[in-house]
Amino acid sequence: MEHPPAYVKIACGTTRRLLIGRFRRLPGEQPVWELTTTFAQSRQADPGESASIGELTGTFGPAATYEGCPQCSARSFVKCGKCQRLSCWTGAGWFSCGWCGDAGPVNDRIRSVSQAD
Protein backbone atom coordinates (compact mmCIF):
# COMPACT_ATOMS: atom_id res chain seq x y z
CA MET A 1 0.00 0.00 0.00
CA GLU A 2 1.27 3.42 -0.90
CA HIS A 3 2.14 5.69 1.99
CA PRO A 4 0.32 9.05 1.74
CA PRO A 5 2.57 11.93 0.68
CA ALA A 6 3.79 14.44 3.24
CA TYR A 7 3.84 18.17 2.70
CA VAL A 8 6.61 20.34 4.05
CA LYS A 9 7.11 24.08 3.76
CA ILE A 10 10.20 25.08 1.85
CA ALA A 11 11.43 28.61 1.28
CA CYS A 12 13.36 29.55 -1.80
CA GLY A 13 16.86 30.50 -0.72
CA THR A 14 17.11 32.98 -3.59
CA THR A 15 13.73 34.73 -3.67
CA ARG A 16 12.56 33.79 -0.15
CA ARG A 17 9.15 32.85 -1.50
CA LEU A 18 7.25 30.30 0.55
CA LEU A 19 6.72 26.99 -1.22
CA ILE A 20 5.30 23.60 -0.37
CA GLY A 21 7.29 20.48 -1.05
CA ARG A 22 5.57 17.15 -1.55
CA PHE A 23 7.51 14.14 -0.27
CA ARG A 24 6.81 10.51 -0.99
CA ARG A 25 7.97 7.72 1.25
CA LEU A 26 9.73 4.94 -0.57
CA PRO A 27 8.67 1.42 0.33
CA GLY A 28 11.00 -0.29 2.77
CA GLU A 29 11.74 -0.64 6.43
CA GLN A 30 13.93 2.42 6.76
CA PRO A 31 12.00 5.59 6.03
CA VAL A 32 13.32 7.31 2.92
CA TRP A 33 11.54 10.46 1.80
CA GLU A 34 11.91 11.82 -1.69
CA LEU A 35 10.97 15.34 -2.69
CA THR A 36 8.85 14.88 -5.80
CA THR A 37 7.57 18.38 -6.45
CA THR A 38 7.61 21.88 -5.03
CA PHE A 39 4.91 24.42 -5.69
CA ALA A 40 3.80 27.87 -4.60
CA GLN A 41 1.58 27.87 -1.55
CA SER A 42 -1.09 29.93 -3.30
CA ARG A 43 -1.92 27.06 -5.63
CA GLN A 44 -5.05 25.09 -4.83
CA ALA A 45 -4.37 22.53 -2.15
CA ASP A 46 -4.58 18.81 -2.71
CA PRO A 47 -7.22 17.07 -0.61
CA GLY A 48 -5.79 16.29 2.79
CA GLU A 49 -2.81 18.52 2.24
CA SER A 50 -3.24 20.44 5.47
CA ALA A 51 -4.13 17.36 7.48
CA SER A 52 -0.61 16.06 7.84
CA ILE A 53 1.18 17.69 10.73
CA GLY A 54 4.10 16.21 12.54
CA GLU A 55 7.70 15.28 12.30
CA LEU A 56 9.11 13.12 9.55
CA THR A 57 12.22 11.14 10.29
CA GLY A 58 14.48 9.17 8.01
CA THR A 59 16.62 9.95 5.02
CA PHE A 60 15.75 12.84 2.75
CA GLY A 61 16.65 13.74 -0.79
CA PRO A 62 15.22 14.91 -4.07
CA ALA A 63 13.58 12.34 -6.34
CA ALA A 64 15.32 11.60 -9.63
CA THR A 65 12.32 13.15 -11.35
CA TYR A 66 12.31 16.30 -9.22
CA GLU A 67 12.21 19.31 -11.51
CA GLY A 68 13.68 21.78 -9.06
CA CYS A 69 12.58 24.87 -7.23
CA PRO A 70 9.90 26.73 -9.23
CA GLN A 71 11.55 29.99 -8.20
CA CYS A 72 15.23 29.41 -8.90
CA SER A 73 15.44 25.86 -10.32
CA ALA A 74 17.63 24.57 -7.50
CA ARG A 75 17.57 20.79 -7.61
CA SER A 76 17.87 19.98 -3.92
CA PHE A 77 17.11 21.33 -0.47
CA VAL A 78 18.71 21.81 2.91
CA LYS A 79 17.57 22.16 6.49
CA CYS A 80 18.76 25.30 8.22
CA GLY A 81 20.69 24.54 11.41
CA LYS A 82 19.49 27.78 12.93
CA CYS A 83 15.72 27.81 12.32
CA GLN A 84 15.30 24.10 11.42
CA ARG A 85 13.30 24.84 8.28
CA LEU A 86 13.89 23.75 4.71
CA SER A 87 15.19 25.90 1.92
CA CYS A 88 15.91 25.02 -1.68
CA TRP A 89 19.55 24.36 -2.41
CA THR A 90 21.59 24.26 -5.60
CA GLY A 91 23.83 21.44 -4.41
CA ALA A 92 26.82 23.70 -3.84
CA GLY A 93 28.75 23.47 -0.57
CA TRP A 94 27.04 26.62 0.62
CA PHE A 95 23.44 27.57 1.22
CA SER A 96 21.29 30.56 2.04
CA CYS A 97 18.22 30.10 4.24
CA GLY A 98 15.03 31.52 2.75
CA TRP A 99 13.46 31.77 6.20
CA CYS A 100 15.91 33.42 8.57
CA GLY A 101 18.60 34.59 6.16
CA ASP A 102 21.28 32.48 7.74
CA ALA A 103 23.94 31.32 5.33
CA GLY A 104 26.81 28.95 5.59
CA PRO A 105 28.36 25.66 4.60
CA VAL A 106 26.25 22.53 4.19
CA ASN A 107 27.69 19.93 6.50
CA ASP A 108 25.17 17.34 7.54
CA ARG A 109 22.41 15.12 6.25
CA ILE A 110 18.79 15.84 7.03
CA ARG A 111 17.36 13.41 9.56
CA SER A 112 14.01 14.94 10.36
CA VAL A 113 11.73 17.67 9.09
CA SER A 114 8.50 19.18 10.33
CA GLN A 115 5.48 18.95 8.11
CA ALA A 116 3.41 21.89 6.96
CA ASP A 117 0.94 23.22 9.48
Q: Can you tell me which of 8, 56, 88, 116 binds Zn ion, judged by CB under 5 A? A: 88
Task: By CB under 5 A, name the one of 74, 78, 113, 116 that touches Zn ion.
Answer: 74
Classify residue 4 by its DSSP letter: P
97 belongs to the binding site for Zn ion (CB under 5 A):
yes
If the CB atoms of residues 3 and 109 are measured against Zn ion, the closer one turns out to be: 109
Of the candidates 42, 30, 29, 7, the residue with the CA atom closest to the CA atom of residue 113: 7
Q: Which residues pair with 9 in a beta bridge?
A: 20
Burial class (CB in 10 A: 0-12, 13-18, 19+), 23: buried
For position 106 contacting Zn ion by CB under 5 A, the verdict is no
Instruction: Tell whether residue 35 is a contact of Zn ion (CB under 5 A).
Output: no
Bridge partners of residue 35, in order along the sequence? 23, 62
How far apart CA 103 and CA 78 sit, in angstroms, is 11
Q: How far is the CB of 8 from Zn ion (least distance, A)?
A: 14
Binding status of residue 40 toward Zn ion by CB under 5 A: no
Residues lying near Zn ion in the complex (CB under 5 A) are found at: 12, 14, 69, 71-72, 74, 80, 82-83, 88, 97, 99-100, 102
